[in-house]
């Protein structure tokens, strides 16, 4: 004779009748308003106090500089939203920056070795995606925590890059690189246009297509998604693969900017992680969105730009980024403990 | 409320017909020729104890498991299902409302309902149409206006249940299976859920309602099927039976000689509990416990029984009432305070709370008693060994020696290590939370023997168990908790599993103690 008594559940809160949804602002709404106000205040503060900040040249420049971190942050956002935004066990890809470094090296080395542009592009994008697939397999098939799997992958990839480049900068030129680095249209540079196109594509897929809905469902409650017939494992694997591909795509943009592969891309990881996590603050649901991620990337971009114009050391910027990560993660953890 | 088509006159064709289902897992048979027949326009209760085969037949109905080849018949609306799978059963209109609300908390109501069969505009997700459809669906079936753009996590438990049911209705469910649907709902919400179910019944849906709460079965169901030991033992209209009858059919078992008897000589009152309550968990709990007594406590999931134990052990302070321990007030604010007064708890989740599996038996047993063992602040290895040796011998822990890692032991033997850890502490009051869960019969008997010995040595023992047969066999007295209150006190002649089950399920009219039916 047994009765089910395996855990304690208390009666759920709240009245049975339907509350008017306009009656109160939820905690999420308040967070969102405060975050947007903070961004606006910081921007206005720099605009008022810093000479040369609020000029069209400077603003366009910051946006262009944000293209590569922005695209990487969108890749990070994709992995986080599909894997779940619990920082400890959810989706995260710490190998994105290193993957970009390796992919850039592959591209530059392939061009130096005399490969044609299409072959070099294919090799680069393929290699980046392969890194993502291995990440995804480690997470989905082997069940390794994403934090650890991608950290290890980051080291492997960083090592490969050093082997390939012997820790030197490899110069690279090709027609497509010239278009990307020098082209412009309607007063906006190629890189800015690429950021706009990638963001639009991501927004359409994530926010306006059935697969996008399923990606968010997978991150929000994998069991519920599975019960609704969503192939959870395949989507998570796919998110890492697309993130890897995107890292390689960003690598090509990076080579175009520098006309060379460059070492030390790993330093970018902190800012793209900060942007992807900070981006969740701007959404009603507390999940990564395209708009939220872009706002966060531009915020970080303007912050470091403002610091530079004020003559402050750029070392402060990485400190601020670290603090932002801590603040966002702490706020999410607190919210989760409070609201369940 | 009119009862839709008279359930005593079944409609011509059953919605679901399972006949003679046999299901074997390895060496044990979970189902041994079970029948379950559901009719359209009927709310059908399914009851049985854990292990009776309820969940197995549900899994077969869901297509998650298949019956043994060659056994039985699975028919849905008159058609035999030859290759049942979850997709196949869903295609035939059988939908499951899981006990835990399987919804994405960050999705909107519309998205949660649409997920998996999203309305489209070309290749795009048509959010506006999804919202319109969801709102219309909820309004039509439930008469409620839940905005389609609200987030699931902002809904009440009952609203989430409604969204779950709407999901099923959106895909033309004809049979709804609700597994413990009221587990997380308060009384008000249960009532609104019931009116929803009656409404669906009047539209001709067939509803299978699984619940531990007998009062709910009586209130909402037209027909009830009782499972016991892998078979249906009875199936009849609710109107022609009674709760005691159903409970007797569920139990269908006698207390065996599993339980060693002992001489019963209670001493002085050790623990006196008066009007004890903790807001939101339990209230008005009072009892006395004498030295040498074993008191049983039980209740359904969420009844508050576990919280009473937690409060007595200082894990969560009481908000009301008074506890006296050996004549002095006792209101432990922490586990440390409880232990210092001679109260110990053997937790249920031994891996998480009771034992460190990566340490040896010796270290585990002595960890709780370092005070006894240390001299000049150093642990005396020899007294450690003798204490561990005594624990192993007393409980006949099957091991290669005191230095074996606990991880290498079986579940029953791990539990004995936990017991031994606390039993060597010489406490006055022992609180045991599900001491025999997941241990084999042989180990159970040894654990019972130890508890009896503790009592005969003058300790007071409280055992929380959901195994009512065990309480009947082991305890001198038992308290049954229902919805946070004592729903029955059982002793001597009345200490019988079927009576206790009835009280735990909310059916108490023929028993001593207040009738708590309907208390939220």
Question: For B208-234, what is the mean pLDDT?
Answer: 85
> Would the CB atoms of B116 and A230 count as touching at under 8 Å?
yes
Percent with pLDDT over 90 in chain A? 33
Residue of B nearest to A340 (CA): B153
Of A16, A225, A286, the CB nearest to B188: A16
Q: What is the ipTM of this complex?
A: 0.77
Kindly determine whether residue B157 and residue A230, on different chains, have CB atoms separated by under 8 Å.
no
A292 near B CB under 8 A: no
Nearest CA in chain B to A288: B106
Backbone dihedral angles phi then psi of residue B13, each to the nearest 5 degrees: -120, 125
Strands (E), B402-484: 429-433, 460-464, 477-482
Judged by CB atoms closer than 8 Å, whether chains meet at B106 and A285 is answered as yes
Q: Measured in Å, how far apart are chain A's first and last C-alpha atoms?
A: 34
pLDDT of A147 > 80? The answer is yes
Which chain A residue shows the shortest CA-CA distance from B304? A8
Range in B44-48, B137-141, B309-313 with the lowest mean pLDDT: B137-141
CA B82 – CA A45 distance, rounded (Å): 71
Query: B17 to each of B6, B65, B74, B75, B238, how far by Cα in Å?
Result: 19, 16, 6, 5, 19
DSSP-assigned beta bridge partners for residue A44: none
Q: Which residue has the higher pLDDT, B449 or A120?
A: A120
Q: Measured on CA atoms in the order B25, B26, B29, B34, is the torsion positive or negative?
A: positive
**Predicted confidence (pLDDT) per residue in A272-316, tens digit:** 988 898 888 888 888 899 999 999 999 988 888 888 888 777 777
How far, in Å, CA of A216 to CA of A238, rounded? 13
Instruction: DSSP for A167-233, please give it.
Output: T---B---HHHHHHHH-EETTEEHHHHHHHHHHHHHHHHHHHSHHHHHHHHHHH-HHHHHHTT--HH
Per-residue pLDDT at B440: 59
Strands B223-228 and B231-237: antiparallel
Q: What is the pLDDT at residue B370?
A: 53
Confidence of residue B268 (pLDDT cuts 50, 70, 90): confident
**Where does the pLDDT of residue B368 fall: very low under 50, low under 70, confident under 90, or very high at 90 and above?**
low
Considering only alpha carbons, which residue of chain A is nearest residue B118?
A210
Q: Which of B105, B111, B468 is closest, CB to CB, to A1?
A: B468
- Percentage, residues of chain B above pLDDT 90: 4
Could A5 and B153 be called an inter-chain contact, meaning their C-beta atoms sit closer than 8 Å?
no
Tell me which of B90, B125, B502 to substitute to probe the interface with A (most A C-beta atoms closer than 10 Å).
B125
Tell me what pLDDT residue A337 has: 60
Please provide the average confidence, as pLDDT, over all residues in chain B.
Answer: 79
- Take residue B355 and report the two structure tokens written for it: 């034992």
Tokens standing for residue B142: 């439930």
Residues B511 and B257 sit within 8 Å (Cβ to Cβ): no
Cα–Cα nearest to B61, from B32, B92, B18:
B18
3-state secondary structure of B289: strand
Task: Report the range of poorest mean pLDDT among B79-83, B288-292, B407-411, B506-510.
Answer: B506-510
Shortest alpha-carbon distance between residue B101 and chain A (Å): 8
Look at A18 and B144 and tell me if their CB atoms are within 8 Å.
yes
Task: Look at B324 and A85; give whichever has higher pLDDT.
Answer: B324
Structure-block tokens of residue B246: 């159903």
What's the mean pLDDT in B464-490? 86
Query: Do A213 and B115 make contact, defined as CB atoms within 8 angstroms?
Result: yes
A1 and B116 within 8 Å at the Cβ level: the answer is no
Residue A21 has pLDDT above 60, yes or no: no
DSSP state of A260: B
H helices of A280-314, where? 290-309
Instruction: List domains and CATH numbers for chain B.
Output: 16-93+174-251 (3.40.50.300), 104-172 (no CATH), 268-342+427-513 (3.40.50.300), 362-425 (no CATH)
Which H or E run includes B49?
none
Mean pLDDT within B142-163: 83
Give the chain A residue nearest B251 (alpha carbons).
Answer: A1
Q: Compute the 3-state secondary structure of chain B and give helix, strand, coil in percent, each to the nearest 5.
A: 35, 25, 40
| Partner residue opposite A220 with nearest CB, options B106, B299, B501 | B106
Q: Is the pTM of this model over 0.90?
A: no
Q: Is the pLDDT of residue A320 over 90?
A: no
A189-205 mean pLDDT = 91
What size, in residues, is chain B? 520
Interchain pair B125, A209: CB under 8 A: yes
């Amino acid at each position: 004779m047994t009765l089910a008594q395996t855990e304690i559940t208390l009666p759920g809160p709240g009245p049975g009748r339907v509350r008017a949804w306009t009656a109160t602002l939820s905690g999420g709404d308040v967070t969102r308003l405060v975050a947007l106000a903070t961004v606006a205040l910081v921007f206005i503060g720099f605009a008022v106090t810093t000479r040369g900040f609020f000029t069209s040249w400077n603003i366009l420049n910051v946006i262009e500089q944000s293209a590569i971190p922005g695209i990487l942050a969108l890749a990070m956002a994709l992995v986080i939203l599909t894997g779940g935004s619990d920082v400890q066990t959810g989706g995260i890809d710490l190998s994105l920056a290193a993957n970009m470094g390796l992919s850039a090296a592959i591209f530059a080395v392939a061009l130096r070795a005399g490969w044609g542009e299409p072959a070099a592009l294919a090799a680069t994008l393929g290699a980046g995606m392969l890194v993502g697939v291995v990440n995804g397999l480690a997470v989905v098939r082997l069940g390794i925590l994403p934090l650890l799997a991608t950290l290890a992958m980051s080291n492997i990839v960083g090592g490969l890059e050093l082997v390939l480049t012997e820790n030197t900068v490899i110069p690279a030129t090709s027609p497509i690189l010239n278009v990307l680095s020098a082209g412009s249209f309607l007063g906006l540079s190629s890189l800015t246009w690429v950021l706009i196109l990638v963001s639009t594509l991501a927004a359409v897929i994530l926010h306006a297509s059935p697969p996008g809905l399923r990606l968010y469902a997978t991150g929000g409650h994998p069991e519920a998604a599975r019960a609704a017939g969503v192939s959870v494992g395949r989507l998570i694997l796919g998110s890492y693969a697309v993130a890897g591909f995107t890292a390689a795509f960003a690598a090509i943009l990076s080579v175009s900017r520098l006309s060379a592969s460059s070492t030390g891309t790993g330093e970018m990881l902190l800012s793209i992680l900060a942007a992807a996590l900070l981006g969740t603050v701007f959404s009603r649901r507390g999940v990564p969105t395209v708009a939220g991620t872009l706002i966060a990337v531009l915020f970080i971009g303007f912050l470091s730009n403002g610091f530079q114009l004020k003559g402050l050391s750029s070392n402060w910027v990485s400190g601020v980024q670290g603090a932002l990560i801590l603040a966002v993660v702490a706020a999410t953890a607190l919210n989760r403990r409070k609201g369940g | 409320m009119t009862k839709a088509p008279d359930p005593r006159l079944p409609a011509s064709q059953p919605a679901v017909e399972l006949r003679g289902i046999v299901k074997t897992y390895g060496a044990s048979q979970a189902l041994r020729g079970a029948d379950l027949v559901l009719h359209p326009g009927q709310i059908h209760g399914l009851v049985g104890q854990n292990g009776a085969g309820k969940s197995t037949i549900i899994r077969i109905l869901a297509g998650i498991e298949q019956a043994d080849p060659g056994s039985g018949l699975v028919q849905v609306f008159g058609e035999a299902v030859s290759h049942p799978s979850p997709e196949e059963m869903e295609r035939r209109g059988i939908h499951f409302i899981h006990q835990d609300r399987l919804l994405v908390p960050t999705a909107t109501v519309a998205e949660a309902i649409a997920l998996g069969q999203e309305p489209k505009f070309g290749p795009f997700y048509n959010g506006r149409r999804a919202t319109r459809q969801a709102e219309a669906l909820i309004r039509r079936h439930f008469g409620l206006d839940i905005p389609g753009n609200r987030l699931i996590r902002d809904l009440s438990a009952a609203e989430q249940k409604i969204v779950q049911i709407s999901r099923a209705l959106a895909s033309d469910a004809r049979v709804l299976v609700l597994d413990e649907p009221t587990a997380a709902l308060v009384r008000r919400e249960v009532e609104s859920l019931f009116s929803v179910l009656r409404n669906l019944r009047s539209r001709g849906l067939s509803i299978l309602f699984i619940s531990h709460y007998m009062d709910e079965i009586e209130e909402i169901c037209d027909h009830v099927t009782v499972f016991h030991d892998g078979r249906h033992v009875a199936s009849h209209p609710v109107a022609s039976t009674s709760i005691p009858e159903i409970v007797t059919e569920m139990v269908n078992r006698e207390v065996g000689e599993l339980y060693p008897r002992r001489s019963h000589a209670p001493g002085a009152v050790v623990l006196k509990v008066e009007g004890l309550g903790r807001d939101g968990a339990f209230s008005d709990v009072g009892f006395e416990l004498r030295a040498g007594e074993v008191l049983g406590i039980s209740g359904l999931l969420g009844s508050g029984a576990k919280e009473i134990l937690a409060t007595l052990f200082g894990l969560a302070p009481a908000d009301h009432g008074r506890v006296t321990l050996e004549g002095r007030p006792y209101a432990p604010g922490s586990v440390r305070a409880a232990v210092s007064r001679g109260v110990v708890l053997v937790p249920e989740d031994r891996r998480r709370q009771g034992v460190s599996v990566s340490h040896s038996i010796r270290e585990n047993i002595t960890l709780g008693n370092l005070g006894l063992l240390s001299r000049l602040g150093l642990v005396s290895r020899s007294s450690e060994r003798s204490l561990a040796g005594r624990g192993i011998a007393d409980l006949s822990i099957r091991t290669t020696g005191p230095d074996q890692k606990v991880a290498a032991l079986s579940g029953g033997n791990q539990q004995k290590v936990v017991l031994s850890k606390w039993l060597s502490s010489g406490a006055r009051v022992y609180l045991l939370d599900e001491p025999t869960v997941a241990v084999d019969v042989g180990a159970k008997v040894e654990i019972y023997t130890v508890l009896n010995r503790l009592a005969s040595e003058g300790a007071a023992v409280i055992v929380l168990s959901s195994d009512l047969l065990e309480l009947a066999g082991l305890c001198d007295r038992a308290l049954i908790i229902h919805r946070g209150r004592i729903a029955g006190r059982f002793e001597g002649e009345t200490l019988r599993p079927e009576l206790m089950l009835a009280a735990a399920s909310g059916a108490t009219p023929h028993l001593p103690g207040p009738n708590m039916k309907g208390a939220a």
